[in-house]
Amino acid sequence: MGIPRNPLRKLMFRRLMKNKLSVAGGIIVAALFLVAVLAPVISPYNPNDIDRFHILEKPGIHHPLGTDDLGRDILSRMIWGARISLSVGFVAVGIATLIGILFGAIAGYYGGWPDMIITRFIDIMLSIPTFFLILAVIAFIGSGIFNIMAVIGFTSWMGVARLVRAEFLTLKERDYVLAARALGASDMQIIFRHIMINSMAPVLVSAVLGIAGAVLVESALSFLGIGVQPPTPSWGNILTLGKDNIEIAWWLSVFPGLAILITVLGYNLLGEGIRDAIDPRLWESERK
């Protein structure tokens, strides 16, 4: 008999809460989410307001993180930039996860020639440097925020597909799947009602870690000038201003750089904690 579902969930949650680093990562992620949602309320200034009397002003009382070369408040632009960066991360990872689940489920469940074709396609995609592929695609279709979300999502699904394929190859031979098939369940019922729900744990971990990667990619694209375009605030394009004024305006580089670092660190810590919490090899030791 398997472990009851509710006690298993409690065990996972207890293990997650015991991991101080994962709790810290969860707090960081929750704080960033609140900042992004409440941006219109907590932003002290309009992020695009130009003030020619306070150009490149150092951090102070009126502008806690300083201003840029147009006199725009950096704190306000950082707050609104959090909304852009996290939106890109969630949407891109959502697209990648859906595509990966679809291809991985088909390859793992049916095997044979569908598995061979999908696996070879994954190998081809993995052989292409992802960042350069993203650069090439954006050069053709443009650099709008929705294009960036789509491109990152459509070029980062391969890891999820391989995870789902591996889970399906293992789970499709379990007794409950064989029983469902013997009772006349269709392939779609077996895939979505029996196998899919039991293969989501590693996908969840991959998705959480993938958000951090998507935030990094978006910031890099914006830094290079082909991501989110000014005047829309993004941590990456604020860093670009910092590069251009590094000798006289250190705050333009330090604060967005710290924001990216903390965001990526938070998602990585949370993802690592979830991965440890759902590791079945540790369940028995925790229950004793």
CATH of the domain at 217: 1.10.3720.10
Lowest mean pLDDT among 48-57, 113-122, 176-185, 214-223: 176-185
Mean pLDDT of 41-59: 90
In a domain, 174, yes or no: yes
3-state percent helix, strand, coil for the chain, nearest multiple of 5: 75, 0, 25
In a domain, 279, yes or no: no
What amino acid occupies position 141? I
Mean pLDDT of 136-154: 85
What pLDDT is stored for residue 286 in this prediction? 53
Position 174 confidence tier, pLDDT thresholds 50, 70, 90: confident
- CA-to-CA distance for 153 and 217, rounded, in angstroms? 11
In a domain, 77, yes or no: yes
Half-sphere exposure of 104 (CA within 13 A, CB side): 28
Position 59 confidence tier, pLDDT thresholds 50, 70, 90: very high
What pLDDT is stored for residue 1 in this prediction? 34
In a domain, 176, yes or no: yes
Position 4 confidence tier, pLDDT thresholds 50, 70, 90: very low
In a domain, 5, yes or no: no
Number of structural domains (the chain) is: 1
Position 101 confidence tier, pLDDT thresholds 50, 70, 90: very high
- List the domain range (segments joined by +) for residue 257: 41-266
Taking the C-alpha atoms of 170, 106, 276 and 85 in order, what is their torsion angle to the nearest 10 degrees?
Answer: 170
- CA-to-CA distance for 234 and 56, rounded, in angstroms? 18
- CB-based burial label for 121 (10 Å; 0-12, 13-18, 19+): middle
- CB-based burial label for 104 (10 Å; 0-12, 13-18, 19+): buried
Mean pLDDT of 97-105: 93
Interacting residues of 50 by C-beta distance below 8 A, sequence separation 6+: 70, 71, 72
In a domain, 76, yes or no: yes
In a domain, 84, yes or no: yes
- CA-to-CA distance for 259 and 250, rounded, in angstroms? 15
Position 228 confidence tier, pLDDT thresholds 50, 70, 90: confident
In a domain, 105, yes or no: yes
